[in-house]
Amino acid sequence: MIHTLEPRLFLDATIDGAGLLTINGSTGDDTINVSLDGANLNVSIAPEGFAQTFPSASVTGILVLAGDGTAYWVTLSAQLGLLLAAALAGTVRARALLVARYYVLTTASVAAGLWDWLRHGTPAGWEPAEGTR
């Protein structure tokens, strides 16, 4: 007689050779907590009770794969709503839509400046202002 196992969740946190800490949540509503405790990085996932510790000196980046729980869909919906509000601000003059448009354009300008800096870098020197020594 073969007995079937109950469904299981494989929650984990791993670190690769490059120092990327990958945290895998479930498809449910997880609370993923990453905290610094001295020289260690503590990772916990609730309500499942997963906990693991990593030396913080070996971590160069963190990637969280949180699945498709409710929090993911709420966050995605809020982001899409903000982009829609920013797009509508050009045709519908409402203060809330104008604030959304301002936020999106300000964030986009910072991202464009970063992209320009990554492509061209910082000039090696500077030119003194005209009329100064």
Cα–Cα distances in Å, from 101 out to 8, 62, 109, 115?
44, 30, 12, 21
Q: What does the pLDDT average to over 91-104?
A: 90
Do 92 and 55 have their domain in common?
no
Do 60 and 76 have their domain in common?
no
Q: What is the pLDDT of residue 113?
A: 92
Q: Which residue has the higher pLDDT, 4 or 32?
A: 32
pTM of this prediction exceeds 0.75: no
Is residue 17 situated within a structural domain?
yes
Predicted confidence band at 6 (pLDDT cuts at 50, 70, 90)?
low
C-alpha span between 70 and 38 (Å, rounded)? 33
Do 79 and 53 have their domain in common?
no
Is residue 131 situated within a structural domain?
no
Q: What is the pLDDT of residue 25?
A: 78
What does the mean pLDDT of the chain come to? 83
Do 44 and 64 have their domain in common?
yes
Give the count of domains, the chain.
Answer: 2
How many Cβ atoms from other residues are within 10 Å of residue 78's Cβ?
10
State residue 68 phi and psi, 5-degree precision. -130, 45
Is residue 30 situated within a structural domain?
yes
Do 16 and 36 have their domain in common?
yes
C-alpha span between 32 and 71 (Å, rounded)? 11
Q: What is the pLDDT of residue 57?
A: 82
Do 17 and 40 have their domain in common?
yes
Predicted confidence band at 68 (pLDDT cuts at 50, 70, 90)?
low
Q: Which domain holds residue 29?
A: 12-68
